[in-house]
Structure 1
Amino acid sequence: MSHKLPPEMAEITRLTSSGKLTEATALIQRLVRGAASPVPPQQPPQARLRTGLGETLRGLAARVLPAGLDLGLGGGAPLEPLPDGASFETLSFTGPAGSRDYKLYVPANRSAGPLPLVVMLHGCTQGPDDFAAGTRMNALAEEHGCLVAYPGQLSTANAQKCWNWFNPDDQGRDRGEPSLIAGITRKIMRDHPVDPARVYAAGLSAGGAMAAILGTAYPDLYAAVGVHSGLPVGSARDVPTAFAAMRQGTSGGERSGRGAPVIVFHGDQDSTVNPRNADAVAAQILASHDTLVTDRNGQTPGGRTHKQTIHTDPVGRVLCEQWTVHGAGHAWMGGSKAGSYTDPKGPDASREMLRFFLQHRLGTA
């Protein structure tokens, strides 16, 4: 039997190895769409080959596309109707690094005083509406009286709409995409009654990697960050090293111990972003800190088991909370099927992140 790759897969491998991500992605999309139609039970050999090729290409895409992962072949359900008095508007921000649209959820349940703000960063091929539906963060915003912002990546900035966490120009303060997201955050703070001590950021996959960057680059802006299925700061410098970090895991860049406290979620069966990256995210914030470590094991009723590791500094402040979800892959834990890349079996990452966030304020020990 020959083990030679089919021509299509050989070409995809050649394109990705040479860093031509856009071309590789376009080829995978064309091939998968061509192989995705249902096939009758008594399918002829060519139809079986086409179906098998589609499945193989999806797996290949999951291995080689930078953190995010899917090909955008499915869509989420429409968002639920807004409560009376709530709004979910599309707005725009322009800064030296360019422009980005974002959606802002303003809850009906809001106090007269300053409100917390959570900035949510979607994964590749996703968008603000999809991410809002999948994470159900707007519903939690109603419970807790929070504003929630969803910046949207442009396909012109990245063909898969990934945040460019692997680009050195997008890994630091006051430049590139971090400056755009921080600019959106500050614009909301100017336009709405936001408590400057309670501003947070979270993201999935490429968005999680970007949230980690924000926590390191802007610890004076974000009181805490959430990294779901993401990677540590400085773990890649281009597309090939991004692939390597995703597949193998990485220790990331400099471990300075500076940065916002972080809550980390990762499935231990994630075949897209190696779970070792979660350990590296935690290690970056814990570097040079002496902490008390507490482990807790739990299970979502009728769902997945998990290990929760809490790192507390000598004065009792939680610097890092790491959730390892057993049997879970590359998806937002506890999310809704209305959005893409969710695992409804839990635990509820959105609720746990918001709990963690609201325990942290800027300027407190």
Structure 2
Amino acid sequence: MIDFPAGAWRPASAAMRANRLASANDLVNRTLARHGLAVEPETKSTGTAAHSAPLSDILARFGQSGGRRPEPALPEGATFADDSFTCPAGTRRYRTYVPASARDGVTGLVVMLHGCTQTPEDFAIGTGMNALAETHRFIVVYPHQARGDNAQSCWNWFSRGDQQRDRGEPAILAGLTREAIARHGVPDGRTFVAGLSAGAAMAVILGDAYPELFSAVGAHSGLPTGSAKDLPSAYAAMAGQGSPGNVAGPAVRTIVFHGSADKTVHPSNGEKIARRALDRGPQQSLQHEESGATSGRSFRHCTTYGTDGTEAVEHWVVEGLGHAWSGGQAAGSYTDAQGPDASAEMVRFFFAS
């Protein structure tokens, strides 16, 4: 996944938009080059370079095919509504999955934040979270980051104005979450947030900024709050050279997934998320470590328990996994069908308390 900030830009004059688009395209091209790809025009002459490809092919490989993504399959009685939320900080579209099983009572709500270039529909398909919602009777909200708010549809985790309570994207996401809680009658203490990559970084920010709203955080291939303040520091943080910012107050319960072979967001970032959650978390009574293998990948898994016996922090490292959702569905982008099912493990962790 091209999971780095392509610019936290807002609409301006036509000239400024043109300059910003050119900068964004240059940034995309440089990143594609890092992956051994070069962009060619759609109509090209013979004599193609060894590692070049038409832009349409490259974008398709990176989840930007240009067409509308397929909708997740809906069981009879389930809905996947399209809505939007507006507050002084801005507006975001979002999708809400209400399982057919919710007729027997809603057990909770999970907010799912997609990664760069993804969409809510794509993320729902890739993570398989809707199927788990049917089984466990919880609501799933998928906020959408539009290209008008980031050129690559990344959540602006690296922007100082989007890292704090009641400002920027955290304010918008918290607001739409509260709206969903009220609309669907979600029980107190049963709201959770998870994400992939830029979405995971924003999920961690939300857990830090709104601990009274989100009872637990799931971070897959993400970064800790405050690890970047602008584009240069974002690149450094993604390479494992960033330092988490200072965050006051206790941490919420946190589950972390990261691939050992992640070349986009260095695995040390997952360690930093887990370590800070431990340092700021409740008094700990027990730590349990295990290793194993499932679906073709081995993993290391460490669980730390609070004095009340609740799982406070889980840290999973999946060997050989790149920048992709572990145990995901092949029909979605940035997924790897091998390894432990991150979605199922996050849901188990969320509802264990």
For the aligned pair, the TM-score class normalised by the smaller chain equals 0.7 to 0.9
Q: 2:165 matched to 1:173?
A: yes
SS in 1 for 2:288: strand
Name the counterpart of 2:219.
227
Q: Identity, % of aligned pairs? A: 47
TM-score, normalised via structure 1 length: 0.82
Q: Equivalent residue of 2:188, what SS?
A: strand
Offset of residue 318 of structure 1: 1.6
What amino acid sits opposite 1:144 in the alignment?
A: H
| 1:181 counterpart SS class | helix
Aligned to 2:318: 325
State the Cα distance separating 1:75 from its structure 2 match. 7.2
Shift in CA distance, 197/84, structure 1 to aligned 2, threshold 3 Å? same
CA RMSD of aligned residues (A): 2.9
**Within 5 A, what are the aligned runs for 1:275-314?**
275-288=267-280, 290-291=283-284, 292-301=286-295, 303-314=296-307
Residues 36, 345 of structure 1: alpha-carbon distance in 2 compared, 3 angstrom cutoff: farther
Matched, 1:215 2:207: yes
CA deviation string 1:111-130 (max 9, x = no partner): 54443100000000111001
- Partner deviation per Cα, 1:322-342 (whole Å, 9 max, x = no partner): 000000100011111111100
* Deviates further, 311-320 or 328-337: 311-320
Could you say what secondary structure the match of 1:194 adopts?
coil
Task: Kindly provide the CA deviation profile for residues 50-91 of structure 1, in whole angstroms up to 9, marking residues without a partner as x.
Answer: x42559xx99x9xxxxxxx95735879623431111000100
In structure 1, distance between residues paired with 2:63 and 2:230: 20
Q: Within 1, Cα distance between the matches of 2:173 and 2:210?
A: 11
**Is the 1:86–1:107 Cα contact (8 Å) retained in structure 2?**
yes
C-alpha distance 321-95 of structure 1, shift in aligned 2 (>3 A): same
Judge conservation of contact 1:217–1:259 (CA < 8 Å) in 2: no
Residue 127 of structure 2 corresponds to residue 128 of structure 1:
no
Q: Is the 8 A contact 1:95 1:180 kept in 2?
A: yes
Matched-pair contact (CA < 8 Å) for 2:63–2:118: no
Matched with 1:347 is 340
When residues 135 and 100 of structure 1 are mapped into structure 2, their CA distance, relative to the original with a 3 A threshold, is same
Is the 1:254–1:284 contact (alpha carbons within 8 Å) kept by the matching residues of 2? no
Matched residues in 2 for 1:256 and 1:99: separation?
Answer: 28
DSSP 3-state at the match of 2:229: coil
How far the C-alpha of 1:236 sits from its partner, in A, is 0.3
Distance 1:98 1:294, change over 3 A: same
1:24 CA drift (Å)? 4.2
SS at 1:119 equivalent: strand
CA change 1:128–1:288 in 2 (3 A) is closer
Pick the aligned partner of 2:237 from 233, 245, 257.
245
Is 1:269 the equivalent of 2:268? no
TM (norm. structure 2) is 0.84
- When residues 232 and 96 of structure 1 are mapped into structure 2, their CA distance, relative to the original with a 3 A threshold, is same
SS of the aligned residue for 2:258 comes to strand
With 253-262 and 228-237 compared, the bigger mean Cα shift is at: 253-262
For structure 1, the residue ranges without an aligned partner over 5 or more in a row are 1-14, 62-68, 361-365
Q: Matches of 1:29 and 1:287 in 2, distance apart?
A: 37
Aligned to 2:349: 356
SS in 1 for 2:190: strand
Aligned length, in residue pairs: 326
Q: 1:26 corresponds to which residue?
A: 25
Q: Which runs of 5+ in 2 are unaligned?
A: 1-5, 8-18
Q: Letter of the aligned partner of 1:87 in structure 2?
A: T
2:193 pairs with one of 190, 195, 201: 201
2:95 matched to 1:103? yes
Does the Cα contact within 8 Å between 1:268 and 1:327 map onto a contact in 2?
Answer: yes
Candidates 304, 329, 338, aligned match of 1:336:
329
Whole-angstrom distance in 2 between the partners of 1:191 and 1:148: 13
Q: Secondary structure at the match of 2:314?
A: strand
Q: Tell me the equivalent position of 1:259.
A: 251
